[in-house]
Structures are given as C-alpha cells and as structure tokens.
C-alpha cells in the first residue's frame, strides 16, 4: 500500500476533510500550524532544570496530525517566517532574528524540526498514531531526529571540548518525556473519540 493511498488515515483528513480545494485547505492548515508553532515558542512553562517551551511537542504533533508532506511543509513555513526576520523562535528578538538566529546554537534543532515532522508524519500515515505505545515510539524517534542534528551543530559551532550534552540534551530530557506522554495519550484518544462520534 503506498503512502498516497494511506493519506486518509491521518487526522487532518478526518478533522478537516477536503471539500473543494485541497491546496487552499493545506495552505490554511500550514499557516495555522506555523502560528501555533510561533505561539508555542513564546510560552515558557516552569520546569526543572530549565523552563520548557512546547515547540518540540507542537512539531511532533503537527507531523502526526498532518502527515509527512504537509507536516514538513508547515515547519518549513515556520522556519521561512523566522528566516525573513519575524520573531517566531524562542528567545527572539532578544537573542537575534533572521538567518543569524538560525545559524546560531539552536540552528541544528531547527533543522531537526523538519526531519521530526516528516518522520512522525510518515509513521502516522502507517497508523502509528492510533495506539499509545506506537505514538510514544514515533514521538521518541521524532525527538531523536531533533536532537541528532541539534547536538551535531552545537558541537561544530561551539567545539566538542565543551559540555555539549550538558547544554543541549540533558536539561531537556524530563520535559520531552512529559510531552511524549501527553502526545501518546492525546492523539490516539482523538482517534477513538472521532470513531465513536
């Protein structure tokens, strides 16, 4: 079974079915998703050892709900908004804007967002979003897709003699596990509610 034929298995197609114009619907979903990403980057939730934003959660959920193509396109739109200077990222405009911000220490994580949305979207199209255990596994794989380029870029930029894991991974594990559990509980629940409706 090809990816095209499984497309109706994603939540976006169930929650927002195409009535007339798929391109317009997808454009509106991408814009809405980029706005939710923008908002999620600005909300800081007190958490130990560092405050938590919901950006990674939203990236992974967008992938799972939108599928791999629209999910990746939505995150690319978000990155394009940031590249042209809109203060869409966490810490902007205080920590810089535009390409300078993207090429800074968090740049690898931003690239990882696109990979994570695509991977989670692909797995959702394979029905990994219908069971909590598979959704959690998809989210874990998505988190890895964010951390690998993020840590690689951080090490290249700041030097491998620095405590890269202590700066770019360890403080965020607890928050990411919490977000993973939230997604694993909520996405399959939405499917169940939709089926029973």
Q: Which two tokens stand for residue 130?
A: 């219908």
Q: How many C-beta atoms surround the C-beta of residue 99 within 10 A?
A: 13
Is 3-196 a CATH 1.10.1760.20 domain? yes
| Angle between helix 55-66 and helix 68-83 axes, rounded to 10 deg | 140
CA–CA dist 59, 146 (Å, integer)? 10
Give the domain ranges of the chain.
Answer: 3-196
| Whole-structure pTM value | 0.90
117 close to 150: Cβ distance less than 8 angstroms: no
Each residue's pLDDT, cut to its tens digit, for the chain (197 residues) gives 333 334 468 999 998 988 889 999 999 999 999 999 999 999 988 876 667 899 999 999 999 999 999 999 999 999 999 999 999 999 888 888 899 999 999 999 999 999 999 999 999 999 999 999 999 999 999 999 999 999 999 999 999 999 999 989 999 999 999 999 999 999 999 998 887 76
Phi, psi of 158, rounded to the nearest 5 degrees: -100, -15
């Amino acid at each position: 079974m090809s990816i095209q034929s499984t497309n109706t298995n994603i939540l976006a197609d169930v929650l927002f079915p195409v009535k007339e114009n798929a391109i317009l619907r997808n454009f509106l979903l991408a814009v809405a998703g980029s706005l939710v990403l923008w908002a999620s980057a600005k909300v800081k939730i007190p958490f130990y050892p560092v405050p938590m934003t919901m950006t990674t959660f939203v990236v992974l959920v967008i992938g799972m709900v939108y599928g791999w193509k629209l999910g990746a396109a939505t995150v690319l739109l978000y990155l394009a908004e940031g590249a042209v200077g809109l203060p869409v990222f966490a810490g902007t405009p205080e920590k810089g804007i535009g390409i300078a911000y993207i090429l800074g220490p968090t740049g690898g994580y931003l690239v990882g967002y696109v990979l994570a949305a695509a991977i989670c979207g692909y797995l959702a199209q394979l029905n990994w979003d219908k069971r909590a255990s598979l959704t959690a596994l998809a989210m874990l794989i998505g988190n890895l897709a964010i951390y690998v380029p993020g840590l690689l870029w951080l090490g290249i930029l700041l030097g491998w003699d620095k405590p890269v894991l202590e700066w770019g991974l360890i403080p965020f594990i607890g928050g990411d596990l919490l977000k993973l559990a939230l997604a694993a509980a909520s996405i399959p629940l939405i499917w169940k509610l939709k089926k029973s409706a």
